[in-house]
Structure 1
């Protein structure tokens, strides 16, 4: 039996753009009691095209998760199927429109056996924290990350690289997407997860994010983080800003409440 409960919430701001092309969702599954999913998409491809692609990802994730049964499938296969089905639908939509829609994906599934599994495509990220302490985040599928992995530029040089927004792996392009899957077992109270678009994460360091989420409920943390991101983005034509927070909270201890009852003798 789990020793924690889940608190979750989302935050979103349109930034300085004309349209909100990010989407996020939090879901449970009727065929998989105790499982929950968080999913986030950052749509791209011109006016309306990006939002349609992002909406397709969240809709596909919700539909497939509702049909998911751990007796018949694995979470890893579920995440890959979400990505590939979304990719196919987005590609088909090009035939009925003049748009070039595509989207990133990051999705997290928590299971009742204490395992977190996540998958991502693109540069929307998932962060994992142990309490306020940063543990890891997903590695972007971007051109500059490829240069870093090949040793051609340093991590510091990547931060200001002129091609930092070029992605090499997204949903909806001509190439089949590669879904990076990872997992963490042994979930416990205090573990925290953050899914976010690239209009959000550049404004914070890892320690700031961990502290903000640990100290507050998801809704309060979302409001504070959005205000801080907007403040730091002032004058920079900021992108859409979207994220989802998932926290594992310790269950309250049961209070022992004993009452002394009078005993009556049988007559």
Structure 2
């Protein structure tokens, strides 16, 4: 997908998803173009948890909620951050209601970003699906996982590299569908610029890469090629034990130089 927003640069984007070595696919990913506002995009990654059908249903509910609210969103009059908060809160409530009639306990992460026609970008996340902002390969900002090992990193007991390979790295302290209200991480990029890249992905992808590796790939390859290479390398590094993985890459390029 490739389209120009109002600010005179071009957005190129691609998504990828793979079942990994799991029996069932519980990740979901979608990159949506606004039905009425050119240059307005919503990207959503949801990593479902809760048994064979419970996790997939939870991830499906996240995407369905996001689609419905995005159809009603007006980027001229509505607040983007409030919109993302609504996606999170409504998806959380729908998953909780689903759990009442379900044998499993469905839960999901969410990592959602909104690109506005005027060129700013906002995001919200719950759980350990991540969003990264790179500029020419350099990490500018990324989400902070709502996970047990992240608390150890915050206390200085683990490095980021140690956390990435820690055996308890999959234990979450916040997700959609839980009894407690989910913690929500938020961020805003005031103005996207040529050289920027946004990556949203589940832990089945980022688990196998350092931040520097991700930045280097996004800086040297167009989104479609980067997405394919990241999936390929993650599958290789998983060595037969890989989780579901999903990702989307959005690249910002000058109009004359855009590819992908």
Between the aligned partners of 2:198 and 2:90, the Cα distance in structure 1 is 25
* Structure 2, gaps ≥5 residues long: 1-5
* 2:87 is the counterpart of 1:73: no
Between the aligned partners of 1:152 and 1:126, the Cα distance in structure 2 is 24
**For residue 63 of structure 1, what is the aligned residue in structure 2?**
68
What SS is found at the alignment partner of 2:51? coil
Question: How far does residue 156 in structure 1 lie from its aligned partner after superposition?
Answer: 5.0
Distance verdict in 2 for CA 1:34–1:210, change over 3 Å: same
2:200 to 195, 203, 216: 195
**For residue 242 of structure 2, what is the aligned residue in structure 1?**
238
**Contact conserved, 1:28 with 1:36, CA < 8 A, in 2?**
yes
Question: How far does residue 143 in structure 1 lie from its aligned partner after superposition?
Answer: 1.2
What SS is found at the alignment partner of 1:10? strand
Question: How far does residue 158 in structure 1 lie from its aligned partner after superposition?
Answer: 3.0
Task: Please list the CA deviations of residues 2-33 of structure 1 after superposition, one character each: whole Å capped at 9, or x if unmatched.
Answer: 12111111011111100110000011223444
TM-score (norm 1): 0.89
Question: How far does residue 64 in structure 1 lie from its aligned partner after superposition?
Answer: 0.5
Distance verdict in 2 for CA 1:71–1:4, change over 3 Å: closer
Between the aligned partners of 2:158 and 2:234, the Cα distance in structure 1 is 27
**Runs of 4+ residues deviating >6 angstroms:** none
Question: How far does residue 154 in structure 1 lie from its aligned partner after superposition?
Answer: 4.5
**Contact conserved, 1:28 with 1:66, CA < 8 A, in 2?**
no
* 2:256 is the counterpart of 1:252: yes
TM-score (norm 2): 0.91
Between the aligned partners of 1:27 and 1:118, the Cα distance in structure 2 is 14
**Contact conserved, 2:75 with 2:117, CA < 8 A, in 1?**
no
**Contact conserved, 2:164 with 2:207, CA < 8 A, in 1?**
no
**Contact conserved, 1:39 with 1:58, CA < 8 A, in 2?**
yes
**Contact conserved, 1:119 with 1:181, CA < 8 A, in 2?**
yes
**Contact conserved, 1:22 with 1:42, CA < 8 A, in 2?**
yes
* 2:67 is the counterpart of 1:54: no
**Contact conserved, 2:144 with 2:185, CA < 8 A, in 1?**
no
Distance verdict in 2 for CA 1:249–1:159, change over 3 Å: closer
**Comparing 217-226 and 75-84, the one that deviates more:** 217-226
Query: Counterparts of 1:172-211 in structure 2 under 5 Å?
Result: 172-211=177-216
